[in-house]
Structure 1
Amino acid sequence: MINQQILEKTKNDVFQNTVISSAVQIKRVAIYARVSTTEQAEEGYSIDEQERLLSDWCTNNGYIIHQVYADRGISGKSIEKRPALKQMLNDARKQLFDIVLVWKTNRLARNILDLLKIVEVFNQNYISFRSFTENHETETSSGKLQFHMMAAIAEFERNTISENVKMGMLARAREGKWNGGQVLGYNLEETAAHGNKRKHTKLVINEKEAQTVRQIFELYISGNGYKAIANRINKEGHRGKKGKPFSINTIKTILENPVYIGVIRYNVRRNWTDKRRGDINPNPVFQKGEHDAIISQVTWEKAQQILKQRSHKPNRVHGGAFPFTGVLRCPKCGAGMVVSRTVNKLKDGTRKTIEYYACGAWKNKGTSVCNSNTIRVDKAEAYIFERLQQLATNEQLIQDIVETVNGKRSNNDEPIKREFATLAKELEQLQRKKERAMEMFEDDLITKVELQQRLNKTNELIDQVELRLQPIKLQMQSLKTHTIDETLIKEVMGNFHKAFKQSITQEQQKHLVTLLIKEITINEEREIDSIQIQFNNAVLNYFTEKGADKSLGDDLSAPFLITFTI
């Protein structure tokens, strides 16, 4: 009777301890780490070291790590170009973690506007933000105020440093010193420091490359165009600074660069950290450089005169709005096809322009790289559009798409289900272990102290397993059993055909094509060989009335590629 009372009291104690333990929710931490290529090379940042220290901090503070999000070799200027950050923000909106931890605030964003936008996403989803080295946190009102103030001060300091660096480089440019990187025709050499003067980089002629530069200028002033020059020097085996063939744009850039007459050009852009096309400075700095010229002033002036005369009719690649540019692939080299035009003179004296899809590498770099491999635009587009129209009634293709999408959904779910089953089984075994300990105590095989020791140890193991189960349960909750069917695919294909037919401009058609089609291949006989379509949430949202089914979750966030031969 006494043993029975002790057993009941022990069970109550264990139950109370379990309730108290479950009431304390252990925080889930998302670690974000980033390092740019420049920082890795010049400043000694280590993304692995960031991850190690932040992980140790979580362990020491009793937190569990939900996931480490790492952007390696990526600048902090743009959110859009950081896949790990974008994934973390998506997971934040699903409230998959409670804290975001970074090594330093500037790992998250370098300008205060982006930083505040990111932190606002955290705040809206009840997620706090912490900086390891700066002791920032956003869990309290005073912490938020301090965070905003320090972020503003940090951006001010960065801008001040940037302005000082720009002023220093501008001063060096006015002294004729080189501020840029590698340039064809020259090697970079560091000069030794003298007195108060710091060492700097100087351009020294590379005679082999200089001969290529001189040949480019001579060919141009002799009447050759960009493409003819690129084609010739590529055939002769000349290559650019990085060992790549010369393109039309490379030739044009060389012909416009005053460095080859011994002149430094600097401050070409108004905002030197933001290299946009529309940010060209109309008044850059030109200064006699301390390096030697490769071409004569006479040759330079002749080339500039021709450039000016030809500027009203640039020799450009006609890619643009044609629906299948970039999607069509060259059968020889795999480059995207662009539009090329020929003008034929008819018997009656009139001229007729015929448009072709041609290899982009040939168009840009000449026959030394690839052949034209042309296919007429009108015939190619009519043929492709006819095949796309047939997709809405191609039962076999529709069935292939359905099986692939649903099969991949099932495959994606399997690892999560297996892990959940493993942990659930482990939890069940630990519960049975507790029951056996109780039975041993009832049979007087162990003392109360021994029972409590065994229960405490088992409860610790149970807590650990349950902590591991928390993120798995959240993922399991998001798994749905919904599948897509043939009706949905037919709706997508039918609406694509209708939208394409109703498109007024080629830009609209191109947008529709790039949504649905990943790639179109051409065979050696210059006939359409196969079409590879991509099927994802973006396609569902655009081509169905209801949009993407929410139950599909993230399974369609990346495209499913279906290739069929036509």
Structure 2
Amino acid sequence: MRVAAYIRVSTHMQVEDGYSLSAQKERLNAFAFSQGWEIVQYYVDEGISAKDMDRPELQRMLKGVKEGLFDIVLVYKLDRLTRSVIDLDHLLKEFSKYNVMFKSSTEVYDTTTATGRLFIRLVASMAQWERENLGERVRMGMLQKAQEGKWVINMAPFGYDLDGKDSLKINATEAALVKEIYSMYINGTGMHKIAKILNQRGLYTKKNKPWSQGTVQYVLTNPIYIGNMRYNYRINPEQYFEVKGVIPEIVSTDEFEMVKKIIDSRVGYHPRRATSRYIFSGILKCGRCGKSLIGKSSQTTREDKKYYSYNYYCNNRQRGICDLPIINQNHLEQKFLQVLDNMDILEDAKKKSAQDASENDADNTKLIKQLEQELKEIEERRTQWQYGWANKMLSDTDFMKRKKEEDEKEKMILKELENLKPKESSRPIDNIIELWSDVKLNWNYMTTEEKKQFVMIVFESIVVDRTSMKKSPDAYVFKEVNFN
């Protein structure tokens, strides 16, 4: 009789007596020898659950069943093959279809009779109940740990490392990149472009995969980076909750909230609109009917050169229920600067900045030490690789690849250390104060994308009217300005 020996271990059973790969193999060999059978093939699934049939070696064995490579499928125990009654029924039908018998070396089953098939299904039902009951207990235990503020996942998120079994500590190198991602987004770089920049620099995610818009968005929207652990975010959203202040924070609440405002302000916009040439799109409101103004461009040609004009119009005008004339963006910009010049809203921002500075300086000291230690480790690794390369233990390709990776890490750490200097803080509120303090001068040197980003961050809405047909800023009136 030709025998296929199927062996499976789940992760937590690999070290238990009687369930390890070697233990199962020895018992199956002994059983086959006692029966005078020959094991012609071993199928071994390592570290895989029996909750379903999505197992590489099981699928390979089923292919062998169809090809007639053996006469018997032999397992140590039934639960090594499956813990699902439905899957067992499918497997037994498949075995029977190709005249292949099934045998357990430690249990008495006879699949050739109705009573034997009933018995084996009863045993499988008990195995399935045991698995589902265990799953419920595990879920309840994880929920309890999460409510206590303990980390329950066996992998740390980007920016952190596991600190024991149920807590996290900051990974200084990755944390510096998290801060850079926030900084780039706040300063106008879109998620897709951020991912492209990181990939071009040879920097990858925690799973060593290229960045995507989705993974960048995960970093920008996960409250873990301000110290809050969330649970049931994807699997069971109706029971979602957060535990605040249980994780070391990487970014400030101000930065996180500012990113949230930017993302919320772009909800419903096509990505191109969020970074379009229209500085005030999504912000301007009609001073006559309250409708949002829509951007529209026109083109003229003079001496073989094309010139573009960017304007805003009220959609209700086309419907005949509003008479607001076209708003020219260039003239509106000049009026905008005049209006800002007469505003003074910086006092509260300055007070808030001073308070944040004193709180952040204490936190920065610890992070600076971690970053300096990482720089030392980078230099030590460089020395080792140079020695290995000099002695032909490393190829030129491997050496250059490692050198590039370390150079990128070093640049990122040095940049973060520079940002952590007390007098050179990069807090978003400080950036706004600096920009606002001399907005006319800064405005002239800003790109269109940066101007638009500033407007989206600071303003919720601007209600504008045109009081004359003069082609100048004086033709426009800001009837209402609302801040975020």
Q: Distance in 2 between matches of 1:205 and 1:114?
A: 44
Q: Is the 8 A contact 1:100 1:130 kept in 2?
A: yes
Distance 1:119 1:289 in 2: 53
Match of residue 253 from structure 2: 297
Note closer, same or farther for the CA distance 1:243–1:28 as it changes in structure 2 (3 Å cut): closer
2:59 to 86, 95, 100: 86
Secondary structure at the counterpart of residue 120 of structure 1: helix
Q: Tell me how far apart the structure 2 counterparts of residues 216 and 42 of structure 1 sit (CA, whole Å).
A: 45
Which of 306, 315, 323 is the aligned partner of 2:262? Answer: 306
Residues 1:50 and 2:24 aligned together? yes
Whether 1:33 and 2:7 are equivalent positions in the alignment is yes
Contact map agreement 2:52 2:84 (CA 8 A) in 1: no
- Matches of 1:51 and 1:186, distance apart in 2: 40
Secondary structure of the corresponding residue to residue 237 of structure 2 = coil
2:189 corresponding residue in structure 1: 224
Q: What fraction of aligned residue pairs are identical, expressed as a percent?
A: 39
Unaligned regions of 5+ residues in structure 1, if any? Answer: 1-26, 191-199, 271-279, 317-344, 350-367, 370-566
Take 1:285 and 1:39, find their aligned partners in 2: how far apart are those partners?
33
Matched, 1:240 2:230: no
Q: Decide which of 174, 199, 207 is 1:209's aligned counterpart.
A: 174
Q: 1:113 aligns with which of 86, 92, 95?
A: 86
Partner of 2:162: 188
- Inter-partner Cα distance in structure 2 for 1:74 and 1:228: 38
- Listed as ranges, the matches of 1:328-339 within 5 Å are none
Give the letter for the 1:293 counterpart.
E
Distance 2:140 2:93 in 1: 35
- Counterparts of 1:206 and 1:257 in 2: how far apart (Å)? 16
1:119 partner letter: L
Shift of 1:249: 2.8
Larger relative contact order (C-alpha < 8 A, sep ≥ 6)?
A: 2
Match of 1:260 in 2: 225
Q: CA RMSD in A?
A: 3.4
TM superposition shift of 1:157: 1.0
Q: Is the 8 A contact 1:230 1:246 kept in 2?
A: yes
Q: C-alpha distance in 2, partners of 1:32/1:148?
A: 19
Q: 1:164 to 1:220 in 2, by over 3 A?
A: same
In the other structure, the counterpart of 1:458 is none
Aligned to 2:134: 161
| Amino acid corresponding to residue 220 of structure 2 in structure 1 | L
Give the letter aligned to residue 46 of structure 1.
S
How far apart, CA to CA, are the structure 1 residues paired with 2:254 and 2:247? 18
Write out aligned runs for 1:310-349 (5 A): 310-312=266-268
User: Secondary structure at the residue paired with 1:145?
Assistant: helix
Judge conservation of contact 2:229–2:244 (CA < 8 Å) in 1: yes
Judging changes above 3 Å, is the alpha-carbon distance between structure 1 residues 214 and 43 closer, same or farther for their aligned structure 2 residues? farther
Does the 8 A contact of 2:158 with 2:206 survive in 1? yes
Give the distance between the partners of 1:212 and 1:102, measured in 2 at CA: 50
Q: Conserved in 1, the CA contact under 8 Å of 2:51 and 2:82?
A: yes
Tell me the secondary structure at the aligned position of residue 181 of structure 2. helix
Contact 1:175 1:289 in 2 (8 A): no
Q: Which amino acid aligns with 2:124?
A: A
Q: Secondary structure at the residue paired with 1:76? A: coil
SS at match of 1:110: coil
Contact 2:83/2:124 (8 A) holds in 1: no
CA apart distance, 1:178: 1.1
The residue matched to 1:183 in structure 2 has which SS? coil
Residues 128 and 137, structure 1, Cα contact 8 Å, conserved in 2: no
1:172 partner SS: helix
d(CA) in 2 for partners of 1:44, 1:55:
14
After TM superposition, give the deviation of residue 76 of structure 1 in Å: 3.4
Give 2:343's aligned residue.
none
Could you say which residue in structure 1 is the equivalent of 2:243? 287
